[in-house]
Structure formats: structure tokens, C-alpha cells
Amino acid sequence: MTYCLGIYLKEGLVFASDSRTNAGVDHIATFRKMTIFEKVGQRVYFLLSAGNLGTSQAVVNHLTRNLGDKTSSINLYATKNMFEAAEMIGDVLRDVHAKHGDHVRAAHADPGADFLFGGQVKGGKHRLFHIYSAGNFIEASPETPCLQIGETKYGKPILDRVITHNLALENAVKVTFLSFDATMRSNLSVGLPMDIATYREGKLKVDRHVVVTEADQYHAEIRRNYNSGLIELFRSLPTPPWLS
């Protein structure tokens, strides 16, 4: 299972993905689910995937091998804006489904894969999309700043409480840790390492890209402090009057 999160802020973008791939009970493998395409000063793309690993890796490979090839129709660096780039990814995804979909379904597996795609192209705004397995997509907005794919529900309540479009990027990263912590506690098939990347609006280069492993001190600390703080908060709340 996978959990990927994208947050659309006034200040920029935050992306996070776990890297656990679950293929059956006794085989849990680790794969990167975040791909970053960067041409400093020109454009930056962040692409995160959840779902069938064959499908998502095929899409990433098609996009990567043609990058910068001016003769190719699927050169992500040739698109005029984020919308065109999202459309191109949707088209590649449809091509992959056309080639492999029926064969995967014949093997009783689901070829579906979803993507989060965000970034900025020079001259345009920073944007964030959820590209569905069908190849169509929706865009994050100030009213709906968080997009999630994969195992989304466990980590949603804390986002709903805290995230707004105007939140400072640092704080959005903090919530990201908490949202992943909730997910990893409730679903063992989502696990570390976790990729976190941040982008600051207008910079046209990656701000930070960090791989959080079990050895990460900040992760251990926020996880511990949040849990003990929550339990303390819980204790401080009154019990129902009809029980006392």
C-alpha cells in the first residue's frame, strides 16, 4: 500500500510519499514513489504515484526517457504550462493502460494507478493536480488545498483540522509528518522511508528534498511528542456527565 500527499499553499507546495510496496503477505518491498523533474530557473515538476507499480513505473519511464527530446511528442519540458504537462501525463497513462491493461486484468490484478502532479513552469503559477487512473484530472484550490492518493483516510482527519491554503510551509510539513504517522500506525503496509519535498512559489527549483528513515531524529521526536501530547490532551478532557 501507498500513501502520497500533496499540499497547495500560498507559499508553495509540499509533497510526501511513503515507499512501501505491498505485493502479497510475505513480500514487502521498498520503492520510491516520488519523481522530481527539475530544470532550474525554467520549471520544476513533482510526480507521485499510487496503485499498480507496473503501470506507474511504465508512466515514469516513458516520461523520463523522452525528457528534453524535442522530436518526441511526450517531452514534459516542452509543455507551455502545468495544465499541458498534466494532460501529457494523463495521455501517457492511457497509452500504458492500452498496452498492458487487459493483460493485467486477465491476471486478476488491477492495472489502475493514480498520480499527484504539481510544480511550476516559468511564466505560470504553481499548481497541483490529482491525475486519475482514467487519465483525467482535478486541481487543488485554496478551498481544497490537500490532495491525497493511496491509503488516504487514516491521515485525513489531522489535515482537515489544520491545513489551510495560507498555512506557512514549515507548518504544512509538520502536519505532513503527523498525517503520515497516523497512517503508518493504523496500516502497517505504509512505512518508512518517506520522501518529503518542498517547493517555494516562484523559485523554479526544488526547495528541499529529504528522505526520512527510521534513523531520523526529528521524525522520532515529533512522533513521540505528538503521541504523548495527544494522550495528555485526552486525559484532560472530561468524561460524559451521564457516566460520572
Contact flags string 39-78 toward its own copies, x per CB under 8 A: ----------------------------------------
Contacting residue, 208, 213, 214, 215, with its own copies by CB under 8 A: 208
Nearest C-alpha neighbor of 124 from the set 208, 36, 204, 39: 204
Q: Which stretch binds its own copies (CB under 8 A): 4-12, 28-36, 52-60, 175-183?
A: 175-183
The number of residues that bind its own copies (CB under 8 A) is 44
**Element (H or E) spanning 15, and its range?**
strand 12-18
Closer Cβ to its own copies, 107 or 233, answer by number: 233
Should residue 215 be labelled a site residue for its own copies when binding is judged by CB under 8 A? Answer: no
Q: Which stretch binds its own copies (CB under 8 A): 21-29, 75-83, 84-92, 172-180?
A: 172-180
Nearest C-alpha neighbor of 176 from the set 54, 38, 9, 26: 9
State the virtual CA torsion across 166, 225, 34, 29 in degrees, nearest 10. -160
Should residue 167 be labelled a site residue for its own copies when binding is judged by CB under 8 A? Answer: no
Distance CA 187, CA 179 (A): 12
Should residue 221 be labelled a site residue for its own copies when binding is judged by CB under 8 A? Answer: yes
In degrees rounded to 5, what are phi and psi of residue 200? -105, 125
Strands of the sheet with 43-51, listed across from one edge: 34-39, 43-51, 113-121, 127-131, 137-139
| Contacts to its own copies by CB under 8 A | 153-158, 160-162, 169-171, 173-175, 177-178, 182-183, 185-186, 198, 208, 210, 218, 221-222, 225-227, 229-231, 233-234, 236-244
